[in-house]
Amino acid sequence: MRKLSGIFLVAGGGGGGGGGGTPARHDVPAAPAPLAVAEPLTTMSDSPVNTPTPTPGKSATPSKSAAPESAPKVETAELDRLMPSGTASAVVFDRQSGATTASVRAERGYTSASLVKLLIALAVLDGGGPTASVQKMLSRSDDELASRFWSAYGGPAIVTRWATKLGLTGTRPPADPGRWGDTRITARDVVRIYQYLLEHAPGAIMAALRDATERGSDGFRQYFGIPDAAGGRPWAVKQGWSCCRPTRVLHTSGVVGDGDRYIVVVLSEHPASVDYAAGSKRVTAIVTALLG
């Protein structure tokens, strides 16, 4: 499994932003310490897409024993303990049971950083664009490619069109039309995007997320969060990072487990004084708590 980052920035790569600027310096995060948490958590009752039990994908090779019977639940207080400064939101959707097992601040808005590349990819492939370049944009989180596609396939209209099509209630295009990384998203909406990707979108998109490179095109290590916390389970991810307008943003999103059982989304904002290494460890700790 691998993943990548980008070049056209909101002052941060691979979750960068699209409107020009210079890449922020990225510190390489240290490996996180394992963490076990099993607190009750609020749930999200309405699921936007009917998701039947999935069939294993190409990369879902570990035995079924590698995935837990169910994800543990984590309360808001536990999430806040893992984020001593800043704010995080988290949603876990179990595709096997059709239930949301964790939902903390699911409707809070964040700048998307590179997560908007999922919508850009949908727009490009729907418009007959180059599949190989789309996959490179996703797996390496390439900001230069994202910026080219953003300009060629409608810019902010990409966000409004796909938000309407997918029923994304908290997703908005950026105030500055050229800064795609400033698109507004919520954790709940990102789960809906993955439900669509898994059930309806071209398989090339999920294939690229399974091939996410350890370092993005800007050199940033993007295996924080889901990859570092997966514990041997199969995964596929799209990550995001940027700084500092005015906060440092670190997002991890994707699927974990045999048959892409769990959709996991953690969005986070950190004070600019919290470097990428520390922020990455926080996000990894949160995903570890969510997965158990």
Segment 72-93, tens digit of pLDDT: 677 899 999 999 999 999 999 9
pLDDT band at 265 (very low <50, low <70, confident <90, very high): very high
Percent of the chain with pLDDT over 70: 75
Average pLDDT over residues 278-283: 98
Q: Any idea what the Cα angle at residue 116 is, between residues 141 and 89, rounded to 5°?
A: 105
Q: Structure tokens of 137?
A: 């944009």
Does residue 270 form part of some domain?
Answer: yes
Q: What is the domain count for the chain?
A: 1
User: 95 is in which domain, residue-wise?
Assistant: 64-291
Average pLDDT of the residues in 161-190 = 98
- Residue 13 in domain: no
Element containing residue 103 per DSSP (H, E): strand 99-104
pLDDT in tens, 20-57: 333 333 233 333 333 222 323 333 333 333 333 333 33
Residue 283 has pLDDT above 90, yes or no: yes
| Residue 186 located in a structural domain | yes
CA 255/CA 131 separation, integer angstroms: 21
Span 136-160, pLDDT tens digits: 999 999 999 999 999 999 999 999 9
- Residue 245 belongs to a domain: yes
